[in-house]
Amino acid sequence: MDSRLLRQLPGVTDEAQSGRAQYLRRSLPELQRLERLIRKGEPALRWRVLAEVEDGPYSLPVYALELGSSHPAAPVLLLCGGIHGIERIGTQLLLAHLANLIHRLRWDTSLQQLLAGVRIVCCPLLNPVGMARGWRSNGNGVDLMRNAPVEADTPSHGLLAGHRLGRWLPWYRGESDRPMQEEAQSLCCLVREQIVRAPFSLALDCHSGFGMRDRVWFPYAGQARLLENAAELHALVQLFERSHPHHPYIFEPQYHQYCTHGDLWDYLYQQHRQHGGQPFLPLTLELGSWLWVKKNLRQLTSYTGLFNPLVPHRHQRTLRRHHLLLDFLLRALAAWDHWLPQGRQWHQHQRRAERRWAPKEAPE
């Protein structure tokens, strides 16, 4: 149930509404901002509720938003955030980007033309209970990025790879032989439905908490091998690097850093491949949060400070810093048939991808 439905229902008192508003202000301002954006963005912005998850008396919607073409065969850019509740900056970054798009759509004719041919699908806050509580996991203590039914070939040592010891430890995968958590299932249904007929799709899932540099990761997280669309990915990265040579990112397969069970994007990518889908490049933006900690050691004293920039000017800078990448992905998506490699070019990109991202032993 979304807040508007809540307002319309008979018997939902003003007191209940103001209680929810207070709860959101205190624990989940990102959801309030998202609901304000929905009101501001209609009718160009389409929305629906994928799932409802409970935090005590409060029912929290998982929203999916759409901008641009509603044609099922349009190319799709999927934007995702808040899978790990503690990583609020990913959600905030997507909300800032959405606000930018909604505002520009009123006057920017080139953006209007661009979006007439492609679709942006955004799920900016997948784990609202986790975010409200300041947890990495969802409300059931499950790490949604370890919850998919895929096993790592050579998992990193320790709990980080994902485990089934118990929900009181981080990186808990959930019980074996049980369905995926509701939030994870919602994302899987959304991705499948949206990209099944698309001739080309891109995804960017926003996280934070690893390393000094901003990284763009891609499958596989659970196997030390290149993804099947390595040539297409190499062509995309080359396009970006030649267009923006001073960019801040490291592009690498996730297994170069660690190897994990249950990665949702590994699972979705493999599923899409098995069903004969067209090229799909699922990317993860991993914001280098250790740099914020290094520049402000007080961040070490709070859990949220390990994952989010706490100093206002650094927060603002982070919200600005990635528009270039998001804008590039949209433009590359719209022009996919101008650069996606075929024939001899495909083989050249494949060889370069193999040299650049050669599987190496995943660090333990």
CB 283 within 8 Å of CB 232: no
In angstroms, give the least distance from the CB of 209 to Zn ion. 6
Judged by CB under 5 A, how many residues of this single chain contact Zn ion? 3
> Does the footprint of Zn ion cover residue 119 (CB under 5 A)?
no
Strand partners, 67: 120
Select the residue whose beta carbon is closest to Zn ion and give its number: 207
Nearer to Zn ion, 3 or 138 (CB): 138
Closest CA to 112 of 122, 102, 98, 124: 102
Q: List residues bridging with 222 in a β-sheet.
A: none
Structure tokens at 217: 């990761």
Q: How far is the CB of 104 from Zn ion (least distance, A)?
A: 29
**Closest CB to Zn ion among 102 and 187?**
187
Classify residue 39 as exposed, middle or buried by CB count within 10 Å of its CB (0-12, 13-18, 19+): exposed
Nearer to Zn ion, 321 or 331 (CB): 321
Rounded to the nearest whole angstrom, what is the least distance from the CB of residue 72 to Zn ion in the complex? 30
Among 84, 97, 234, 256, binds Zn ion (CB under 5 A): 84
Consecutive H or E run containing 216: strand 214-218
Determine contact, residues 330/78, Cβ cutoff 8 Å. Answer: no
Task: Please choose, from the candidates 69, 115, 43, the residue with its C-alpha nearest in 3D space to the C-alpha of residue 334.
Answer: 115
Closest to Zn ion by CB, 87 vs 263, is 87
Answer for which of 97, 146, 173, 207 binds Zn ion (CB under 5 A) is 207
Helix (H) or strand (E) holding 79: strand 76-81
Residue 174: name the closest of 183, 184, 164 by CA. Answer: 164
Smallest separation (angstroms) from Zn ion to the CB of 145: 6
39-58 positions binding Zn ion, by CB under 5 A: none
Q: Which is nearer to Zn ion, 75 or 90 (CB)?
A: 90
Q: Which is nearer to Zn ion, 131 or 353 (CB)?
A: 131
The answer to whether 276 and 167 have CB atoms below 8 angstroms apart is: no
Contact set with Zn ion (CB under 5 A) = 84, 87, 207
